[in-house]
Chain A
Amino acid sequence: MSLIARYLEENGIPTVIVGCGRDIVEQVGVPRFVFSDFPLGNPCGKPRDNETQLGILDLAFTTLEKSFAPRTTVQSPYRWSTDESWRERYLKS
């Protein structure tokens, strides 16, 4: 996805990526990135939760409007849960 954003941008189309994998997107290097610090699979909000779903999209629009340089990362203000244990369980069975 990062490669596609870069290609569109090189050809004159402004882009914003919304995603959960910050290290990957930032390593590739993209113009604008909204980092949703949620478990992979939920970039656009929590299920059945209008506040996070609309809030993250609105942040993506604001990021499109306000960014003035590449490698702009904006972190979403939402937390998946007050319990942070989901971070420990990725790829651990």
Chain B
Amino acid sequence: MTTTENKIDTSRSLYIRYMDSTTDHYLAEGYNNPYQWARFEDVPFTPLKKPLSESRLALITTAAQFQPDKGDQGPGAAYNNDAKFNYVYDLPSNVVPDLRISHIGYDRKNAQIEDQKVYLPLENLYHFQEQGRFAELGPRLYGAPTLRSQRVTSDRNAPQILKMCQEDEIDVALLVAV
């Protein structure tokens, strides 16, 4: 007999500390230079300039375009460093592209990514656009590389994405971090 029903549910406060487990993992594997995540005291904030229902929305993703010549990128594929991309890309937002996440350290034991919508919610965004939740999707979706270099991300990639957002007259951005 269990007493599960009497236990305090602490799961909501026990979210996984990925930084700790990742650092421990790499130290245990013999790497002595674990990644240092950025930390900022000040955080910018821009209020919405108009109602969401009148706003043009951009989708930004860390998923990679499928590259048939770069090895297994299917659901559950082992970590595939060759499938990484280093430069920002853009694709038309009115067609659902084949994007993969084998280049990312996601939870391969527990994640079920057979349904691309769990990390690329484009079709669901079409649904919300039809419902009028936001005015429209911008003409392009933007792909953001996950690079070790924070300097390249901040000084090269972020400005490129901003420029595309400005060209596309984007009002608000939804960023999906896989």
**A residues in contact (CB < 8 Å) with B:** 1-25, 27-31, 35, 37-48, 53-54, 57-58, 60-61, 64-65, 67-71, 75, 79-80, 84, 86-87, 89-91
A2 to B107, CA, bound (A): 20
Chain A residues with Cβ under 8 A from B170's Cβ?
13
CA distance A25 to B40 in the complex (A): 11
Contact: A1 with B37, CB < 8 Å?
Answer: no
Cross-chain pair count, CB within 8 angstroms: 216
Instruction: Tell me, in angstroms, the Cα distance from A61 to B153 when the chains sit together.
Output: 25
B69 interface residue per 8 A CB criterion: no
Tell whether B43 is near chain A: CB-to-CB under 8 Å: yes
Asked if A47 and B144 sit within 8 Å, CB to CB, the answer is no
Q: For B39, give its contact among A10, A21, A27, A45 (CB under 8 Å).
A: A27
List 13 interface pairs A-B (beta carbons < 8 Å), by A numbering: A1-B146, A1-B177, A4-B157, A5-B175, A9-B45, A14-B48, A18-B175, A25-B177, A27-B39, A29-B41, A46-B112, A64-B172, A70-B44
Q: Which A residue's beta carbon lies closest to that of B52?
A: A65
Query: Chain A residue with minimal CB distance to B17?
Result: A23
Interface size grouping (class) on chain B = 35 or more
Check A41–B38 contact: CB distance below 8 A. no
Partner of B105, one of A2, A40, A45: A40
Rounded to whole Å, the gap between the CB of B168 and the closest CB of chain A is 11
Q: Are A15 and B121 in contact (CB under 8 A)?
A: no
| Extra inter-chain contacts (12) besides given A8-B162, A15-B175, CB under 8 Å | A3-B153, A7-B159, A9-B46, A19-B178, A22-B15, A37-B15, A39-B106, A40-B178, A41-B101, A65-B52, A90-B18, A91-B25
Contact A41–B45 (Cβ < 8 Å): no
